[in-house]
Amino acid sequence: MGKPMPLLSNKGKSFQGSIVLGKGFVLSTEEAEKLIKKDMRNKDVLFPYLNGDDLNSDPEQKPSRWVINFFDWDEEKAKTYPDCYEIVEKLVKPERERPHNTMGRKLWWQFYRRGVALYNAISELDQVMAINRHAKHLLISICKNDIVFSDATVVFALNKFSEFAILSSSIHDAWAWKNSSTMGVSTLRYSGTNAFETFPFPTVTSEELNGLGNELHIARLRIMKYYQLGLTDLQNIFHDIQLGNKAEIYE
């Protein structure tokens, strides 16, 4: 049996997050707040920075750090934000100028791979979906789109709860494990190309699936916040505890 082929209907809907390549771009929340307090203009280039651990370990799935983002700007424009430019110049430029960094040397003040296609695809959506790219469980989350996604995430340019329900299904889970690689035997390395672009989405004509997806999203967030559980911990409990009806955990 041959490998499944990418479907045109899924093209341009799944993306790896930005490859920043430079620890100096990344700030703590406190550092970002200080920069914004010093000069409100700095907010133009400071964004919450979401990684895979934030998605799967934080009960509120909030970005734990911020990032300096000069987009595709030239260096002269980046210099008009001196507070942030000087941080990147001091901490990122030396790293990028090392001999092995030939690709990132020229535009050292920009992300190595900005993910232009990703941010263009999600710019008009009120919400998007994302996963931790390397994880024990395939767990779909709904996120805001006004953040920078790290390369440890896969982002889907989808915003319907029916799509969330389908991606959260055991069918998509089995498809992903079959068509992605793994790290060892228990960690999935999700492939947008091989697992998402080839996935045969069913045609949804009923609002019922949309409602079920919305219920799952709300119930899961409520449980995580109330019990201070990350998404992985919640999923582990779901699989491990002995319940007469496992659906009870979502009630």
Question: Which tens digits make up the pLDDT trace of 90-144?
Answer: 999 999 998 777 778 999 999 999 999 999 999 999 999 999 999 999 999 999 9
**CA 202, 206, 210, 212: dihedral to nearest 10 degrees?**
-100
Question: What are the Cα distances from residue 250, in Å, to 130, 209, 219, 223?
Answer: 21, 16, 6, 8
Task: Give the amino acid at 103.
Answer: M
Strand (E) or helix (H) holding 129: strand 128-132
Contact 131, 139 (CB under 8 A): yes
The model's pLDDT over 203-248, given as tens digits with 9 standing for 90+, comes to 887 899 999 999 999 999 999 999 999 999 999 988 776 444 444 5
Q: What is the mean pLDDT of the chain?
A: 93
Strand 46-50 versus strand 148-149 pairing type: parallel
In this prediction, residues 164-169 reach a mean pLDDT of 97
